[in-house]
Structure 1
Amino acid sequence: MKPPIDKPAKPPMADRSPILHLLLAALVGGAVAFVLSQLQFSLWIEPTASRDSAPPVIEVAPESVPQVSASPFPGAGAPKPLANGLRVRNASPHTVRVVLLSQQSNQAARPTATPYRAPIHWDFAPNEGSKGGLLLSLPEGNLTLQTGDVLVAFALDGSQRYWGPYVVGETSGLTQSAALEWQLEIAP
């Protein structure tokens, strides 16, 4: 009979499952990540220019200043008053939208149709046109108001301020000048 051959001894970790190897690797990796996350790094950048040298100064001789006209269009003055036109003055500290509902011109021919056209609006910055007012127009040409047209103005800045409604020829607040031009002043 042959003597039994001794089998080589197994290392102690070989008996355990590979899950322990993964668990140990995760634990060591987590500890390293935690330590690295606690480190703080600082980076200083020194300026390359010395403090003794100042940046160059460029001197420019002033040129003659051109004369600016008060009107945005050279040679054009304030628009002439338009009979039944509308001039708006926003004397308020609010951004304002003015909306016009104008009547259909041939309402008698279509009694079942809506009595008003689609609304038209203009936006005004705070105090825009507060001195002389702005004469409103349409893309197609001049704007003329008729009796019964409705105007309303409201603030766009969330202050919930509104002015109107003003019915042309029927309510106060919308005045007609000596030149027969309608004027709306939006006061604070």
Structure 2
Amino acid sequence: MRVHIIAVSAGGPTGICFAAMFPDRVASLTLQSAVTKPWLKPQDKEYKLGRHIFKPSVEKKTWNMIALINNILPRTTFKLMLPSFSKLRFSEIRERLDEKSLEEFRKMNNRQRSYSGFLIDLEQSQTDYTNELRSIRAPTLVQRSKNDSVVPLTHVEQAQSCIPHAEANVLDS
């Protein structure tokens, strides 16, 4: 059986490693705003904050607090979280969204739990995946929004330069 892999954001390393380790099992690889090389560094404020608010003793409380605020003030929560996802101003994004989209964002936030996942993401983001990327043989699509404020465009460039026949698509979203 061959599988299609979709690796998103900090899930990029897992998808990259699977595609590299099991080339006969991979029909295609899609990297969506995926981490493809060292990303957040231990001295970065996002790294330090993440290590603190998502450590096992605090993680559940962090998500419960976000959900509480999210349910009381969903529009404010969206506006406050927006810079961590997009380079666009709130006014630009608000023009593209309807009330149903804001409600879906609120519901998504209420389902969030990272357990140890975010800490694993931080650890995996310290690794250079150049060798793994070079060994991928599956057809590969690399996508990213030009407005992504989380994973820099250099990660798309890294994947495209290392994966034979990779196709890159930078989206206006």
TM-score normalized by structure 2? 0.26
- Higher Rg: 1
